[in-house]
Amino acid sequence: MSNPSGPSHRNVASIRSPPSTNPAAPASPHTPLRTITSAFGSPSAIRAEEEHVIIELGSRYLRAGIAGDALPKAVLDFGPDSQRRAGDYRKWSVGYDKAWRERIREGEWGEPYELWRPDLRGLDLGLVADKLERAVREIAKYLIVDVRPRRVTLVLPSALPLPLLSTILDTLFTSFLTPTISLMPAPGLVPAAAGLRSALVVDIGWAETVVSGIYQYREVQSTRSTRATKMLGEEMNNMLAEMIDPASSPAASEDPQNSKHARDVLSFEECEEIISRMAWCKPVERGEHKAPFQGLTPVKEEDELRASVRSLHISSAEETDPVVSIPLASTKSCRTLRLRFSKLAEPCEKVLFADGTAPENLDDEEMPLHLLVYRSLLKLPRDVRSVCMSRIIFVGGGSNLPGLKRRVMDEVAILIEQRGWDPVQGKAIDGLRNNPKLQRTRSRQASNSPTPVLHLDATPASMQDQEPDEIGTVLNKQARDRDPPNDMGQLRAVESLGAWSGGSLLSHLKIPAVSVVEREQWLLHGAAGASRTGEITVSTQRQSMGPGAFNVKSGAGDRSSWTLGLWG
C-alpha cells in the first residue's frame, strides 16, 4: 500500500479488518492475516445462502442436488416411461409390463433409454433438449427449489461434443433463467471427491469406459474403450435369452434377424435388473497366469490351454457354484430361470475382459479393462505414473459389479509383473531378450566402446535410476518438508464419492470453475462467443499463479471474455 491514505483501498479494507490492527502495519502492503475458514472468508459469504444446484449429466442418468450435499438428491433416468405425454397414465394400467414388446423396436439395444449416444450423427438435438428440460423440471420436485434464478454447476464428461454442450446450455438458460452456469469436468472431480490431487480414474460408464489420468487436478491423458455397461447388458441379454429360449440364440444361426429375437425374449428393464442384482465378476485364476509370458508358444495354443484349464477349474469348483433361480416376468409366460451362479459372471468375462479373444485381435477402441488400465498407466510419464498407479479410482455404473475392482487390480498387477513398464512386447523382443548371443555381443560392443560409462547392463536406459542431482535433491527435500511424501509406486485402488459429490464439495468450498458461462453472453453469442482457454490465461496475468483445472478464472470484475474450458 504505497499510498495508505488512498481512500478507496482503505475504505474497503477497513470494512473487514478492525481499525486497531491497521496502524500496526504502517508500510505493509498486506492486511493482517486472519484465520479464515473459506466459507466466511469473503464478502461473497453474504450470498452464501443462495443455493447452488449441481447437475451431473451422463448419457443415461441425471444426478442433481444442492452444493454441500454428500449425495445427489435426485437421480433421474431417461427411460421411455418418463418420456410420455403429460397426463398419460398408461404406466399404471394392468398388463403394461407385459406389453413391452410393442414399445421398443428401434435402434440398438437400450437406445431408447439414453439421453444421447456417442455417435451424434442423426441425433435429434431438439429431442435431447426436450428430455433434458423435462428432467430438470422434475428435479425441482426433489430438491424443493423453485425456478428462481440460481446458479448451476454442470458436471460433464470431459469429451462432450460441442453441439451437445451447446444444446444443454441453451436449454438451461432459456427455460430456467439461470444466471450463470459453471462447467466442471467429471474426471477431474473424482479425485477431489476422494481427497486426492492425482489419480487414474476408471469410469466404467454406459457407452464407453474412460480411463483418465489426472495429475494435480488436471486431466493429462484419457483413453477409452467401448467395453462398458451397454455391451455388458447386451451380452447378458443374449445369454439369458439363449437360456430361456435356445432357438433365439444369435450364435445358433448367423441370421442377423435373430439378434432381434434375442431382444424379444427379455425386456430391457428385467435384463438391467438381473445385472444389477446378480451379475458378478470372477476373481483372477492364479494358475493360468503364473506361466511367464513367452512368445515361443503360439498364442492360439495358449488360449486353448487357458480355456481347458478354465473348464477344469470350473468343473472342480462345481460344489461352490450353486444353482440360482431368478423369477422372470417379462418373458412370454412367467417362469423361474434356474442357472449356475458362475454363468452370471460370464458376460462380464466376455465383455469387460475380452475373454476368448486374443489380445492381438483387439482393436484400439475395444481394449479390455485391465489392458486399458495398464496401457494408460504405461503411456503416462514415469513420475505421473508412479503417483497415479497408487490412486486408481473406479467410478461409473459398471464399477458396482461385485468383484470387478478387485479383478481389474489383480489383472493389472499381473500384467505389470509380466511385462514391467516396457511398451515393447511380442515374439521378436522376447527372442531378442532371451537370445544369449545377442546379449553377449551387445555387452561386448559396449565394453569395447570408447566411453565405458555407457556400459549397458540388463536394464535398459529407460528403466535405470535417475542420476542424482544435487539441486534436485535439495528441492525434493524442501518439498518433502512441506508436504510429506505420498504413497506412490505400489498399485492401490481408492474409493471416491464420485463426480457429483466432488462437484458439490468444490462448489460448497466456493472454488470457481474453469468456465463460467453467463446467461446474457450465452444468449448473445452462443458457443461462438467463447474464447479459447489459452487466450484467457495469457491475457489475465493476475491469476497466472493459479494452476489447477478448477481455478483458471478471469479476474473479479472482468467477465467480458469467457471460455468453455476444455469443451470449447
Partner 1 sequence: MASFAPYAYIQCPCTESNLPTRRLGSESPTDPLETEQEEPTFDPRAPRANYSLYPLEHLLYCEDCHQIRCPRCVIDELVACYCPNCLFEVPISTVKSEGNRCTRSCFQCPICIGPLSVSSIEAQRDGLGAEFAAYGGPYVLSCGFCNWSSDEIGIQLDKPNSIYNQLAKIRHGGKSLTNARERRKEREERSKLGYSPTIEEEGGSEDGQEKTDLNATEDFDAESQFGNLKAFYQAQLSESSPVSSLGLPGDYSYGSPGALSRIMGLYTGSSFADKKSRTKKGIMREARDAPEGLHIFSPSSDEEAVNRLRTEGWGNTVSTTQRKEQSEQNTHFLSDLRPIPYLLRTRRSKRCKTCRHILSKPESKVHSTRFRIRLVALNYIPSITIRPLQTSSSSLLRPMKPTQFLLTFKNPLFDSVKVNIATAAKTPGRFSSKVTVLCPQFEVGANTDAWEEALREGGNKGGEREKRRTKAEASEGQHQAEAGKVWERGRNWVSVVVEVIPASLRVQAPAFLKSEELQKDESPLREDEDVLEIPVFVRVEWEADPTHDDTGGLAAAGAKDKEVKEKRELAYWCVLGIGRIARD
Least separation in angstroms between residue 210's CB and partner 1 is 19
Burial class (CB in 10 A: 0-12, 13-18, 19+), 257: exposed
Least gap, CB of 460 to partner 1 (angstroms): 32
What is the residue whose three cell numbers read 497408487? Answer: 390
Judged by CB under 8 A, does residue 320 bind partner 1? yes
Q: Tell me whether residue 403 or residue 529 sits nearer to partner 1 (CB atom).
A: 403
Q: Does residue 483 interact with partner 1 by CB under 8 A?
A: yes
What burial class does residue 222 get, using C-beta atoms within 10 Å of its C-beta: 0-12 exposed, 13-18 middle, 19+ buried?
Answer: middle
Minimum CB distance to partner 1, residue 426 (Å): 31
- Tell me which amino acid residue 513 is: A
Query: Which of 47, 97, 177, 449 is close enough to bind partner 1 by CB under 8 A?
Result: 177
Shorter beta-carbon distance to partner 1: residue 446 or 491: 491
x/- map, 522-561, partner 1, by CB under 8 A: --------------------xx-xxxx--xx--xx-----
How far, in Å, CA of 387 to CA of 221, rounded?
Answer: 14
Which residue, 216 or 464, is less far from partner 1 as judged by CB?
Answer: 216
Contact indicator for 345, 310 with CB cutoff of 8 Å: no
Q: Is 290 in the site for partner 1 (CB under 8 A)?
A: no
Out of 402, 431, 460, 472, the residue judged to bind partner 1 by CB under 8 A: 402
Least spacing, CB of residue 451 vs partner 1, in Å = 40
3-class DSSP assignment, residue 152? strand
Q: Which of residues 14-33 bind partner 1 (CB under 8 A)?
A: 15-16, 29-33
Among 257, 482, 528, 560, binds partner 1 (CB under 8 A): 482
CA 452/CA 455 separation, integer angstroms: 6
CA distance 176 to 527: 18
Taking each helix axis from N to C end, the angle separating 268-278 and 229-244, rounded to the nearest 10 degrees, works out to 100
- Specify the residue, 175 or 443, whose C-beta has the smaller distance to partner 1: 175
CB of 250 to partner 1, least distance (A): 19
Binders of partner 1 among residues 217 to 256 (CB under 8 A) are none
- Min dist CB 547 to partner 1, Å, is 6
Q: How far is the CB of 359 from partner 1 (least distance, A)?
A: 24
37 binds partner 1 (CB under 8 A): yes
Concatenate the DSSP letters of all residues of 153-219 into one string.
EEEE-TT--HHHHHHHHHHHHHHH--SEEEEEEHHHHHHHTTT-S-EEEEEE-SS-EEEEEEETTEE
CA 142/CA 521 separation, integer angstroms: 30
Q: Where does this chain touch partner 1 (CB under 8 A) — which range of 245-253, 414-422, 439-447, 487-495?
A: 487-495
Report if residue 461 touches partner 1, rule: CB under 8 A: no
Instruction: Report the SS3 class of residue 29.
Output: coil
| Mode of pairing for the β-strands spanning 392-395 and 199-204 | parallel
Q: How far apart are the first and last CA of the chain?
A: 39
Kindly state the cell numbers that stand for 71.
Answer: 449425495
- Cα–Cα nearest to 459, from 435, 443, 447: 443
Residues sharing a CB contact under 8 Å with residue 69, sequence separation 6 or more, in sequence order: 504
Q: How far is the CB of 362 from partner 1 (least distance, A)?
A: 26
Nearer residue to partner 1 within complex by CB, 137 or 427 = 137
Q: 75 vs 456, which CB is nearer to partner 1?
A: 75
Judged by CB under 8 A, does residue 317 bind partner 1?
no
Closest C-alpha among 417, 410, 380 to residue 201: 380
Q: Taking Cα atoms as reference points, which of 158, 148, 152 lies closest to residue 205?
A: 158
Closest distance between partner 1 and the C-beta of residue 186, in Å? 16
Q: Based on CB atoms, which residue is closest to partner 1, 103 or 440?
A: 103
- In whole angstroms, how close is the CB of 459 to partner 1 at the nearest point? 29
Task: List the grid coordinates of 552.
Answer: 483458471
Q: How many residues bind partner 1 (CB under 8 A)?
A: 130
Q: Which residues of 331-361 are buried (b: 16+ CB within 10 A; e: fewer)?
A: beeeeeeebeebebbbbbbbbbbbbeeeeee
Q: How far is the CB of 442 from partner 1 (least distance, A)?
A: 41
Q: Rule CB under 8 A: is residue 106 a binding residue for partner 1? A: yes
**Which residue stretch of 204-212, 246-254, 377-385, 499-507 sits at the interface with partner 1 (rule: CB under 8 A)?**
499-507
Segment 115 to 134, residues that bind partner 1, using CB under 8 A: 120-127, 129-131, 133-134
Closest distance to partner 1 from the beta carbon of 151 (Å): 15
Q: Tell whether residue 286 is a contact of partner 1 (CB under 8 A).
A: no
With binding defined as CB under 8 A, does residue 141 bind partner 1? yes
Please say which residue, 86 or 296, places its beta carbon nearer to partner 1: 86
Residues 67 and 65: their CA atoms lie apart, in Å, by: 7
- Whichever of 198 and 209 has its CB closer to partner 1, that residue is 198
Site mask for partner 1 (CB under 8 A), range 184-213, x = bound: ---------xxxxx----------------
> What CA–CA distance (Å, rounded) separates 345 from 403?
10
Q: Please choose, from the candidates 36, 37, 25, 19, the residue with its C-alpha nearest in 3D space to the C-alpha of residue 1.
A: 25
Binding status of residue 56 toward partner 1 by CB under 8 A:
no
Three-state SS for 341? helix
Segment 75-104, which members bind partner 1 (CB under 8 A)? 75, 83-87, 95, 99, 102-103
